[in-house]
Amino acid sequence: MITVSCAAIIPWEVNTMADNTLIRTEDLCVWFPVRRALPFGKRRYVKAVDNVSITIEKGETFGLVGESGCGKSTLANALLGMQKPTAGKVYFKGKDLNALSIKDFKEARRDMQMIFQDPFSSLDPRWDVYRLISEPMYIRGGYTKEQMEQEVLRLLKLVGLNEDDLHRYPSEFSGGQRQRIGIARAISLHPDFLVCDEPVSALDVSVHAQILNLLMELQQEMNMTYLFISHNLAVVKDICKNLCVMYLGQVMETGDTQEIFNNPLHPYTRSLLSAVLSVNLDEKQERMILKGEIPSPIDAPKGCRFCTRCPYASEKCHQETPQLQQCGEKHFIACHFPGIGMEK
Amino acid sequence: MKKQSNNFFLRLWRHPKGRTGIIIAMLLVFCAVFAAYLAPYDPYDVTQRAEKGLSPSWSHPLGTTITTGQDIFSMLIYGTRVSLIVGLVTGICTAFLGALMGLLAGYVGGFVDSLIMRIVDIMLVIPTLPLTIVLTNIFGKSYFMIIFIFTVFGWTGLARVIRSQVLVLKNSNYVKAAELAGASRWHIMFRHILPGVTHLLIMSTALTSAGIMVAEAGLSFLGLGDPTAISWGKMLADAQSGGALLFGHWWWIIAPGIGIFLSVFSFMRIGLALEEMFNPRMKQGAGVRKLFKSLNNTYIQGIFDEMNEDAAGKPADGKEAAKA
């Protein structure tokens, strides 16, 4: 039996003191209205992101994991201002992103960029590499033609492409190379905050490491902050300092990556971790297989979102929604019974 | 940009359908532009009373009209002008209007989208030809009027196609990426989305032009064209009323027919070639000849094989039968 000290402190209150915060959300909700079946029926929503409060510190890599459809990408879009939140706030460098004037918002957005999951659809097939990479600079203005050309060449070298590739079209490149073009484009304005929305999941396994290494090198060189969305927990463990596990639009567990991996207190986190393949054959892993499908986010379960699939769910879980509570120095969890079912 | 457009015409030129289309269209354009130099007589000259109803000869390659003695060959050449101008101008105007409306509806969305789409819905159910007949009667029979009417009623289908394509492009990741880079709506609309639908516009211009050429000929034949101009449709109408069939002057009817056929054929060819170029799912050159070729390869070959087998097998049977 482990003893867990649980204090009802909400993460952002802890971190507001530190000046190190780059971006944080306060009770962020993104709900999409669903067309009503009857004209006067109850208006229903897909609660893609529901009451999410996260804090991302300067210079770190923040991991965001969860099943497909749990709202990871929607959260990222809301952070970038691409998606207006239904409720809650996004603070970027201390400023409320959605309260800014259009001009200030555009200025703030200069510092945030995104690397897309699919390098095949995120590059305009009719544009050559030079135009693709220089587009952000062209839009922002303030560069002469020579400066732009030099900058594009520098970026090309930085991401490991050739000068000869300058006037080729995206269709002439492989997936990995296209992702490099996407990265060059994203960093061309020297952003502080870079969202990597599953940057390697559409690529061959053999180029995963190359792209990840490139991203890590760039982070060190340019002092960027990453929000790293991924399915791949092994990757997240390696590169992320902090981690947030989402399920059906809500945060299940968040905190220091090492601590979560060493001591996963939430049953959902444990089931995710038990699915990670291990190279070590001797080490027999206990699999924790969840039953059933992820419920529809339109009719999310009452109480704890995870209660329908949690093997340890009790009556309380079906009634009350657990709040995030602190269970360690940098470890927060939304569960009524942290650490339930853990043996030792 | 220049490189791309070069590529585009080169690709069209290399396409067998496109090449025939371009060659014929170029010939027609040449005829239209230099009609005054090519035509041996003034086709508007209706005072040749002595030369009425001549059969084709060296001085009048296609004879003269029975009613007024105009040189049919000259009329044919001058007719190219009307046909091409009406067809092309309408095609271009339609493409322009359709693109504008489609882009607005697709990209701006919301109220603008519903408004434009409802207008399209209404326009689509209005039968164009009877309306054109009525309107030309009301507003006069100039070609400008015909172009105007066909443009006003012709953009709807294209706007729908463009809108749906814009909706696809609008949600594509590269538009999202451009938005993230701080692009304005205009930048996205004209740098990303419009180039994505240009092929549809060019294709539609070619195909609409072909359709409008036929429609114009039809209207002129019905006597609804510009009475002062010479067009192929009007030539047919004159031939009909002038008794070309009665006197057996078939060249008077065939000549404008061939003109209409060639112009429509060439534009259709170009349009279809473009369609095949831009839509890779459409099999290139899926014509009747190819069908027979594939039949030859598989089906007929199979029959031949069977016959050979039978031929090889039969003597053996025959011998056995003889032995028994």
CB of A82 within 8 Å of a chain B CB? The answer is yes
Is the model more confident about B42 or about B312? B42
Q: Is residue A173 part of a domain?
A: no
Q: Measured between alpha carbons, how far is B218 from B224 in angstroms, rounded to an integer?
A: 9
Q: Is residue A265 part of a domain?
A: yes
pLDDT in tens, A43-80: 788 888 888 888 888 888 999 998 888 888 889 889 88
CB of A118 within 8 Å of a chain B CB? The answer is yes
For helices B72-103 and B232-242, the axis angle rounded to 10 degrees is 130
For A108, name the nearest residue in chain B, comparing CA atoms only: B182
CB of A76 within 8 Å of a chain B CB? The answer is no
Q: Is residue A73 part of a domain?
A: yes
CB of A27 within 8 Å of a chain B CB? The answer is no
Q: Which of A84, A135, A166, A167 to mutate to test the interface with B (most CBs of B within 10 A)?
A: A135
Average pLDDT over residues B168-184: 86
Please state the three-class secondary structure of A65-117 as a single string.
ECCCCCCHHHHHHHHHCCCCCCEEEEEECCEEHHHCCHHHHHHHHCCEEEECC
Measured between beta carbons, the chain A residues lying within 8 angstroms of B178 are 124, 135, 139
Cβ-nearest to B187 among A112, A113, A139: A139
Could you identify the residue written with the tokens 């995870």? A306
Tally of domains within chain A: 1
Q: Measured between alpha carbons, how far is B194 from A27 in angstroms, rounded to an integer?
A: 39
Contact at 8 Å (CB) between B73 and B40? yes
User: Quick count: other Cβ atoms within 10 Å of Cβ B214?
Assistant: 16
Instruction: Residue A306: give the domain boundaries.
Output: 11-108+246-333
Average pLDDT over residues B90-94: 92
Cβ contact, residue pair B181, A136, below 8 Å: yes
Range of A74-83, A275-284, B67-76 with top mean pLDDT:
A74-83
Residue type, B117: M
Dmax of chain B from CA atoms? 95
Q: Is residue A285 part of a domain?
A: yes
Cβ contact, residue pair B180, A124, below 8 Å: no
pLDDT of res. B89: 92
ipTM: 0.78
Q: Is residue A294 part of a domain?
A: yes
Average pLDDT over residues A118-132: 86
Cβ contact, residue pair A109, B180, below 8 Å: yes
Cβ contact, residue pair A122, B177, below 8 Å: yes
Burial B120-143 (b: 16+ CB within 10 A, else e): beebeeeebeeebeebbeeeebeb
Structure tokens at A27: 């009770």
Measured between beta carbons, the chain A residues lying within 8 angstroms of B4 are 126
Cβ contact, residue pair B173, A118, below 8 Å: yes
What CATH number does the domain containing A253 carry? 3.40.50.300
Q: Which of B176, B180, B278 to mutate to test the interface with A (most CBs of A within 10 A)?
A: B180
What is the nearest CA distance from A111 to chain B, expressed in angstroms?
10
pLDDT of res. A269: 87
Partners of A325 in the beta sheet?
A: A333
Contact at 8 Å (CB) between A179 and A197? no
Of A149, A218, A150, residue with least CA distance to A179 = A218
For A188, name the nearest residue in chain B, comparing CA atoms only: B181
Cβ contact, residue pair B174, A121, below 8 Å: yes
What is the nearest CA distance from B185 to chain A, expressed in angstroms?
11
| pLDDT band per the 50, 70, 90 thresholds, residue A9 | very low
Average pLDDT over residues B51-67: 75
Question: Beta strands of chain A (E only): which ranges?
Answer: 21-34, 44-52, 55-57, 61-65, 87-92, 95-96, 112-115, 193-197, 225-230, 242-247, 250-256, 325-326, 331-333
Contact at 8 Å (CB) between A152 and A175? no
Q: Is residue A51 part of a domain?
A: yes
CB of A180 within 8 Å of a chain B CB? The answer is no
Cβ-nearest to A106 among B4, B178, B182: B182
Cβ contact, residue pair B174, A123, below 8 Å: yes
B→A contacts (Cβ < 8 Å), by residue, are: 4, 172-174, 176-184, 187, 192, 195-196
CB of A178 within 8 Å of a chain B CB? The answer is no
Cβ contact, residue pair B176, A122, below 8 Å: yes
Q: Measured between alpha carbons, how far is A117 from B268 in angstroms, rounded to an integer?
A: 41
pLDDT in tens, B101-146: 999 999 888 899 999 999 999 988 888 778 888 888 888 777 888 8
Structure tokens at A65: 């994991």
Measured between beta carbons, the chain B residues lying within 8 angstroms of A82 are 176, 179-180
Could you identify the residue written with the tokens 């039953």? A291
Structure tokens at A189: 């304005």
Contact at 8 Å (CB) between A50 and A250? yes
Long-range contacts of B247-256 (CB under 8 A, 24+ apart): B247/B53, B247/B66, B249/B53, B249/B55, B249/B63, B249/B66, B251/B55, B251/B56, B251/B62, B251/B63, B251/B72, B252/B62, B252/B63, B252/B65, B252/B66, B252/B72, B255/B62, B255/B72, B255/B73, B255/B76, B256/B76, B256/B79, B256/B217, B256/B232
Is the model more confident about A314 or about A15? A314
Measured between beta carbons, the chain A residues lying within 8 angstroms of B196 are 126
For B194, name the nearest residue in chain A, comparing CA atoms only: A126
| pLDDT band per the 50, 70, 90 thresholds, residue B93 | very high
Cβ contact, residue pair B182, A140, below 8 Å: yes
Cβ contact, residue pair B177, A185, below 8 Å: yes
What is the nearest CA distance from B198 to chain A, expressed in angstroms?
11
CB of A167 within 8 Å of a chain B CB? The answer is no
Q: Is residue A66 part of a domain?
A: yes
> Out of A161-170, A282-291, B185-194, B251-260, which region has the weakest mean confidence (pLDDT)?
A282-291
Cβ contact, residue pair A140, B173, below 8 Å: no
CB of A139 within 8 Å of a chain B CB? The answer is yes
pLDDT of res. B185: 85
State how far Cα A313 lies from the chain centre: 27
Q: What number of C-beta contacts closer than 8 Å exist between A and B?
A: 49
For A102, name the nearest residue in chain B, comparing CA atoms only: B182
Average pLDDT over residues A301-318: 84
pTM as predicted: 0.74
Q: Is residue A143 part of a domain?
A: no
HSE-up of residue A191 (Cα within 13 Å, Cβ side): 30
Average pLDDT over residues B172-192: 86
Cβ contact, residue pair A110, B176, below 8 Å: no
Average pLDDT over residues B144-155: 86
Strand pairing of A87-92 and A95-96? antiparallel
Q: Measured between alpha carbons, how far is B42 from A99 in angstroms, rounded to an integer?
A: 74
pLDDT of res. B102: 92
Measured between beta carbons, the chain B residues lying within 8 angstroms of A109 are 180, 182
Q: Measured between alpha carbons, how far is A300 from A319 in angstroms, rounded to an integer?
A: 13
pLDDT of res. B285: 52
Average of per-residue pLDDT values in chain B: 80
